[in-house]
Structure 1
Amino acid sequence: MTTVAEQRYAGVLRLDGKRALITGAGKGIGADIARAFAAAGADLVLSGRDDAELTRSGRALSDEFGVDVRSAAVDLADHDGPAALTRMASEAFGGLDILVNNAGISLPESVVDTTPENFDATIAVNLRAPALLAAQIGALMVEQGTGGSIVTVASAAALAPLPEHYAYCASKAGLVMATKVLARELGPHGIRANSVCPTVVLTQMGQRVWGEEAKAAPMLARIPLGRFAVPHEVSDAVVWLCSDAASMVNGADIAIDGGYTMG
């Protein structure tokens, strides 16, 4: 006979019936989060700039997990990108329960070599777009009156300085604080907002950038676990934050960094 506790834990990390928007979902961490959400039973709106890539990914997830997957190709760097995506995503399922703000860019350069163009581009994609998208999706969730969850994929670079990432660190630190304001203002409506802050994640791009032993060694030396993260370690945390298992977690910034930000 199944006990009450067994029934509870069997479904506590499920997202059945939830409608989720995931940005930057075409590749890397975003694609892994999308797969984790589909496996947990959520219906998805996948956002990115490559419509063909999103359509292929969505079809594969739908075939494998039996969930409803839509795509919304939007360039969030565009001035009206967040508003356009809010409209497209909300119309896909008649509302949203979850937003995962994952899209971002990195244009490494030292402080003394920082260009206005790269600085502005980084702030536009990493801070302005996700902050405005969260505000607009948050307003939609308030209007729905059924609560919700907003998760920001920030970075360990939001919590500890990273050389040659001046604009990136500033953008991600700003996004963590913006998420805390969301948590403060939207919490009374049953809407939770949290951030995850990963160290280097070994996606295909991560492998290209950090695969060289000489470049990786100084960074690895600062991580007590002695390794970089893999995508599912981020995705698992995001699923947990959006599930009932994290129903009292609000305004947190969770480091997924092997201890890097301890100093």
Structure 2
Amino acid sequence: MRRIGFKYFYFYFLLILLSFAFHSSIFAQGEELCEELFRRHGFLEEVEGNQALEWVRAQNGRTLERLKADPRFAQIKAQALELSIAKDRIVYGSFDGKFIYNFWQDEKNPKGILRRTTLRRYLSLDPRWEIVLDIDALSAQEKENWVYKGMDRLEGDETHALVFLSGGGKDATLVREFNLEKKEFVSGGFELPESKSDVSWLDQDTLIVGAAFEESERTDSGYPRVIKLWKRGTPLKNASIIFEGKKEDVGVGAWVLKRKDGKK
């Protein structure tokens, strides 16, 4: 084996020291930059704060002016609108074993309708969609700007579902139990207030809830920190905790996996 002389060892050692010094300087500059950015824009952490909203409105205004200044803006906007409401766009759906469900938006229903049809009709030229939930009608009835965020059906069940709604399209959603057979919300059923919580079915009388309702239940990012089991007919505040994450975690979640033999 070739031996490295002392002068070479000294040279390599010096390079290592210089490398550490260089990277330490870079890290220090990075920390200073982060501190400066937070000092100038830290108010954006309060996503619903007045200062943050005013800043966003100002940036939106600048962006819109920049876009409108492009001579292609009007044409591209018209094309995008035409495509978004085209009658011949692909109708994607989810199949629950009996019905195919599809959420559809057009000129008549800008907020959208949740509709369904059978597999046989879906494959035909005349699907004859049945409206399950009209978000435009619901918004008008409740005088809210509801945005549909999805539905979670209880697997193997044709009745029980959870509907997710957002006020104005925020990340936070409220959750209501929905009867798919009667096509209506369940009076006295499961209902979760607006938050960034997660929820899924365990069975028809039990929900798994990633809770983010109270400050103590949220991570620093505002997402669920604790997982709870919520039984039907009991207060949400009494739901039992089955897992807890750390405050510095982005968020924790849980869901149900069903095996071929039916076990969960």
Q: Same fold (TM over 0.5)?
A: no
More strand by share: 2
For normalisation by structure 1, the TM-score amounts to: 0.22
More helix by share: 1
For normalisation by structure 2, the TM-score amounts to: 0.22
Q: Report which of the two structures shows the higher radius of gyration computed on alpha carbons.
A: 2
